[in-house]
Amino acid sequence: MANIYSRIAGTGSYLPPNRLTNQDLVRQLAERGIETSNQWIVERTGIHARHFAAPEVTASELGVQAALKALEAAGVPASDIDLIICATSTPDMVFPSTACLIQQKLGVGGQAAFDVQAVCSGFIYGVAVADAMIRTGAVRRALVIGAEVFSRLLDFNDRTTCVLFGDGAGAVVLEASDQPGIVASCLHADGRQSGILCAPGTVSGGSVLGDPTVKMDGRGVFKLAVTVLEQVACEVLQVAGRDASCIDWLIPHQANLRIMHSTARKLNLSDDKMIVTVGEHGNTSAASIPLALDHAIRNGQIQRGQTLLLEGVGGGFTWGAVLVDY
């Protein structure tokens, strides 16, 4: 019996129309008595702008727009999808899952649908799970989405975090193939590091307990991120039996340009082999990798036949990588 693999059949993304530049944000923060500057933000992060969803717009609404574009690119109707996975830290509600709500908005039902919560690594986790299910023959086509309205989790009195994040969604359609597309994946987490990046709030008895806004130890996150991203990149290449020379494009989680450049250097990759969208999108958490992937495919940077290294790191602390023959 021939081996079953999964390949990327189509990608899509969506950004809410409200684009907020650093200057826009600086003015809004000044009204709160919070001082920062465009220069301060750019030097530390590489971010120039981000998109914020309107108050009534939910993660599922962003996610369904990205999903529709991915389905169109793959040339398949939603009814042909056997599995829907949504990676998000900003679900529409406690339950049902955002994946089920996207399923409803796509006008389909019956296929498995669930959310993955691994924060900024969520899309990597989702792709790895979908790939495993396709390889077993359990499903033939999967829709994997990263969708976030991270602006809802921001404390606009904390200039070290509120300038970092944005809203958006990205999606891929994976389908069964007799040729490897997803070559290898590696996933990790270390809950002992949960305190350095978290949103420590929950719902109980009809009230919010704790503080459900982003709290981050920036120095701790930076140090851990550059270490584990190098390690997991080397690990996934080893699993695949390859070395870094095979990589045509590095698509890292778009969190901080300094972290991204550090990862590329440690892999001996030039900066022009790295897809960078953080400057315009900010950190869109689970949406950042599929957003960057779709952006690079649609603008012609990424071509069929090239090899991609996708990797992410996020609160949990979670991290992972996927090697893709596109």
Among the options 162, 256, 283, 295, which is catalytic?
283
Q: Assess whether pLDDT exceeds 70 at residue 99.
A: yes
Rg (alpha carbons) of the chain, rounded to whole number = 19
Q: Indicate if 256 belongs to the active site.
A: no
Give the homologous superfamily in CATH for domain 183-325: Thiolase/Chalcone synthase (3.40.47.10)
Interacting residues of 117 by C-beta distance below 8 A, sequence separation 6+? 87, 88, 89
Q: What is the chain's mean pLDDT, rounded? A: 97
Give residue 1's pLDDT.
63
pLDDT in tens, 157-216: 999 999 999 999 999 999 999 999 999 999 999 999 999 999 999 999 999 999 999 999
pLDDT in tens, 266-322: 999 999 999 999 999 999 999 999 999 999 999 999 999 999 999 999 999 999 999
Say what the pTM is: 0.98
Among the options 51, 162, 198, 253, which is catalytic?
253
Among the options 100, 120, 162, 198, which is catalytic?
120
Give residue limits of the domains in the chain: 5-179, 183-325
Q: Indicate if 283 belongs to the active site.
A: yes
In the structure encoding, which two tokens stand for residue 147, read together? Answer: 């969708």
Give CA angle at 219 (286, 44), nearest 5°. 75
Cα–Cα dist 98/55, whole Å: 17
Q: How confident is the model at residue 2 (pLDDT cuts 50, 70, 90)?
A: confident
- If you classify domain 5-179 with CATH, what class do you get? alpha beta
Please indicate whether the domains covering 5-179 and 183-325 agree at the CATH topology level: yes
Q: Assess whether pLDDT exceeds 70 at residue 116.
A: yes
Would you call the peptide bond into 96 cis, given omega within 30 degrees of 0 as the criterion?
yes
CB-based contact 224:317 (threshold 8 Å): yes
Q: Indicate if 281 belongs to the active site.
A: no
pLDDT in tens, 243-275: 999 999 999 999 999 999 999 999 999 999 999
The enclosing H or E element of 26 equals: helix 22-31
